[in-house]
Amino acid sequence: MSSTDDRATAGETGEHRAGPRAWAGLAVLVLPVLLISVDMTVLGFAVPYLSEDLSPSSDQLLWIVDIYSFVLAGLLVTMGSLGDRIGRRKLLMLGAAGFGVASLAAAYAPTPELLIAARALLGFSGATLMPSTLSLLRNIFLDHRQRLFAIAIWASGFSAGSALGPIVGGWVLEHFHWGAVFLMNLPVIALILVTTPLLIRESRAPAPGRLDLTSVALSLGTMLPAVYGVKRIADSGPAIAPAVAIAAGVVLGVFFLRRQLRLADPLIDVRLFGVREFSVGVGTNLMIVFAMAASLFFLTQYLQLVQGISPLRAGLLLVPGLVMSVVASFIAVRLSRAFRLGTVLAAGLALIATGFLSLTQAPLDNGALLVAVAFTLIGSGIGLTETLTNDAIMTAAPPTRAGAASAISETAYELGAALGVALLGSVLTATYRLQLGDVPGVPERTMENARETLGGAAEASRALPGESAQALMHAAREAFTSGMNVTSAIATLITAYAAVQAAVLLRRSGNDGGKDSGSDTGQRTEVREAH
């Protein structure tokens, strides 16, 4: 059975309320979210193990972590628009099958290069999953209050997956090869492929127009060179080649935006950024995930390699924050009815900033409790903000553009995650290398390996005599902790800025999550498209 978005447009008034099948379908739509968040969390815990097994360089390690997000971010807009055209359910199922194949390839990758390639394939497949889930949700739940609650459940899937990842992943890493963390994806993939045709109706834009291949090429040409250039400069310092790549991305981005304004059927409706709730929601999502992705990248290593905690116990220390993120998602629904959107967002972002500020004081020893408390503050703030930002983004867009709007939202997520790991991860790496000076009794070649990553230092220390090994690891742990403190300070500033931005720009938004202005904008966009 198939439906178009004409019915969804009519349903904006609240005439159509979701029934049991719709809520069962929501459970299916949460599965891809759960899958991707587990995958992102588990990889951070697996870094010490794959570092020991594959011996990647620091550059390769960063690519292993963030190539997924780079490829995904580059393709999200295209895939979201493609789903509007060929069917969002069809795209979801194709992506799920591809994600399963890529997971299998990653699990048995024998070299860093092949693992990077498998992660890139995961990113390609993941680009089809996320826009499909949020756009299908947009067209299933037509009543605004039901949709806000559904988005809270959908958003809590990220936190639930992040909470499940450390526990299951920690146990897996203690008993099996690191590749098993990717094999965990396969049962979820099978469940998605079986239940999606049964519970989710197909939906697509009724008159989507043709897919503009020039826009597709320009979107890729904008994203990939720019992100590559930023990553190279952050990792290796200023150079001509990455500067040229960034400049090329900016120039192509200008051409991309100008073309979208001229097209009758653009990949993305850039006029949506003129809606304050939409633009602030997208920007807030990017800044939150920028800081959050980097924190998961360094906290898992800090707990395991600096504090000497097992993967399972390290995962359990992060669970309170991830659980609070789920709880806060539902609290946000109630708060949105009593307070203005900007007020709730600013409060959530202030909690996140406070958590990162606490991490600037993380000590070399006995830092586990501080991490647990700080991450609980961060998780609570994220739960408050993400539900409302996603609702503001989706409400601002008309149903016919649901795929493209959700793709913009997910692009902010994935670009934020990619840049967070690349930039803040590179700041951490640079600080670590700068702080890790020569250690008496340790050969220079061994020191070079130790300066690559903290995992590399742990591996190098195993070949040294007792006292030299202890001295190297103490120096490496101290250097990494200093890098984490610096990175947390930057994350504090970013999230504090986001809080001020939300409070100032959304001070006049209504207390219904941007419903009114967003819906009006959606209707105006529908009228413009009709003409």
Predicted confidence (pLDDT) per residue in 382-441, tens digit: 888 887 887 777 777 666 665 566 667 766 776 676 677 667 777 888 888 888 888 887
pTM assigned to the model: 0.72
Q: What is the pLDDT of residues 210-229, one digit of tens each?
A: 778 898 888 888 877 877 77
In this predicted structure, what is the pLDDT of residue 436? 84
* Distance in angstroms (rounded) separating the CA atoms of residues 407 and 413: 10
Residue 3's DSSP bridge partners are: 203
Please answer whether residues 482 and 278 qualify as being in contact, where contact means their C-beta atoms are separated by less than 8 angstroms: no
Q: Which helix (H) or strand (E) segment is 4 a member of?
A: strand 2-4
* Distance in angstroms (rounded) separating the CA atoms of residues 509 and 513: 8
In this predicted structure, what is the pLDDT of residue 223? 78
Please report, for the chain, the start and end positions of each structural domain, with discontinuous segments joined by +. Answer: 32-212+263-530
Looking at the predicted structure, is the pLDDT value of residue 524 above 70?
Answer: no
Q: Which helix (H) or strand (E) segment is 204 a member of?
A: strand 202-204
Grade residue 8 by pLDDT with cuts at 50, 70 and 90: very low
Give the orientation angle of helix 368-396 with respect to helix 402-419, to 10 degrees. Answer: 150
* Distance in angstroms (rounded) separating the CA atoms of residues 420 and 293: 6
In this predicted structure, what is the pLDDT of residue 398? 65
As a whole number of Å, the end-to-end CA separation of the chain is: 29
Looking at the predicted structure, is the pLDDT value of residue 501 above 50?
Answer: yes
When mean pLDDT is compared over 103-107, 451-455, 465-469, the highest value belongs to 103-107
When mean pLDDT is compared over 123-137, 281-295, 483-497, the highest value belongs to 483-497
The set of residues, in sequence order, having a beta carbon less than 8 Å from that of 240 and lying 6+ positions away, is none
Q: For residue 103, what are its two tokens?
A: 């997971």
Q: What percent of the chain has pLDDT over 90?
A: 15
Q: For residue 300, what are its two tokens?
A: 């898992």
Looking at the predicted structure, is the pLDDT value of residue 528 above 60?
Answer: no
In this predicted structure, what is the pLDDT of residue 178? 85
* Distance in angstroms (rounded) separating the CA atoms of residues 159 and 162: 5
Q: What is the pLDDT of residues 178-199, one digit of tens each?
A: 888 888 889 989 999 999 998 8
In this predicted structure, what is the pLDDT of residue 231? 66
* Distance in angstroms (rounded) separating the CA atoms of residues 428 and 424: 6
Looking at the predicted structure, is the pLDDT value of residue 527 above 50?
Answer: no
Grade residue 78 by pLDDT with cuts at 50, 70 and 90: confident
Grade residue 235 by pLDDT with cuts at 50, 70 and 90: low
In this predicted structure, what is the pLDDT of residue 518? 40
Least Cα distance to 36 among 192, 172, 211 occurs for 192
The set of residues, in sequence order, having a beta carbon less than 8 Å from that of 24 and lying 6+ positions away, is 199
Looking at the predicted structure, is the pLDDT value of residue 278 above 70?
Answer: yes
Question: Does residue 440 come out as left (phi exceeding 0), alpha (psi in the -120 to 50 range) or beta?
Answer: beta
Question: How many angstroms from the chain centroid is the CA of residue 387?
Answer: 14
Average pLDDT over residues 308-315: 78
User: In the CATH scheme, what is the code of domain 32-212+263-530?
Assistant: 1.20.1250.20
